[in-house]
Amino acid sequence: MRIEAHDVLIVVDVQNDFCPGGALAVLHGDQVIEPIHRIAPRFEHIVLTQDWHPASHASFASAYPGKQSFETIELPYGVQTLWPAHCVQSSRGAEFHPALKLPQAELLLRKGFRPQIDSYSAFFENDRTTATGLAGYLRARGLKRAFFAGLAYDFCVGCSALDARRLGFDAIVLRDACRAIGLDGSVQAIEAEFARSGVQLTDSTELAELMG
């Protein structure tokens, strides 16, 4: 697959809390960094997302006495999985992994900062209607095709790719540059949605050189 000038690499949530030792560690989460570094020089445009929650966030199990992490609850906007407190604003866990070196990234997009709404997708919060502004940013800059890498494959990466399709962008997930949380068939579920929505899956090794 050939990378072109209107392509963007969206690197999702490569933060300490999603890496080994973090509050919501994804198995081998830090292993996404090597493939991301390998492909990043091929892209003219890179966006980083950062999960960025207030200390008491509606997605944290600690907000609901008697509830455990990874259980689900009903919030006004629908079913929400409860998570251990993670990516709290200005905490070390919320920082990008120190090995991630992408100084050329053009936009750092924070999400999940509204106390009452979680945000998996880089485009819409979990109420499916509150926009982050990323779609407008990509359109204003003429970026039409988004490649996705990072954490977690079955949550924030997957939801971002699905929303990209919903908004009319081409969406390609670089499978080997992602790692999954894996909760109750979440990987199968997201891949079924990919197939339905036209999200493409490929590996970073299939990417050809940047066009001039």
Enumerate binding residues for ligand VGL (CB under 6 A). 13, 18, 51, 83, 120, 151-152, 155-156
Q: Which residue shows structure tokens 């499916």?
A: 128
The Cα-based distances of 42 to 2, 38, 167, 192, 198 in angstroms read 10, 8, 25, 29, 24
Q: Which does 158 bind (CB under 5 to 8 A by kind): ligand VGL, Zn ion, none?
A: none
Q: Which is nearer to ligand VGL, 7 or 51 (CB)?
A: 51
Nearest to 160 by CA among 126, 188, 192: 126
17 binds Zn ion (CB under 5 A): no
Which residues lie closer than 8 Å to 41 by C-beta, 6 or more apart?
210
Q: Are 22 and 84 in contact (CB under 8 A)?
A: no
- Catalytic residue check, 111: yes
Q: Which residue shows structure tokens 């996705």?
A: 148
163 binds Zn ion (CB under 5 A): no
Q: Which entry of 13, 51, 154, 163 is annotated as an active-site residue? A: 13
51 binds Zn ion (CB under 5 A): yes
Q: Which entry of 156, 159, 163, 178 is annotated as an active-site residue? A: 156
13 binds Zn ion (CB under 5 A): no
- Catalytic residue check, 101: no
- Catalytic residue check, 30: no
> Which residue intervals of the chain are DSSP H helices?
33-39, 134-140, 158-166, 186-197
Q: Which does 180 bind (CB under 5 to 8 A by kind): ligand VGL, Zn ion, none?
A: none
Q: Which residues are catalytic?
A: 13, 111, 156
| Residue ranges binding Zn ion (CB under 5 A) | 51, 112
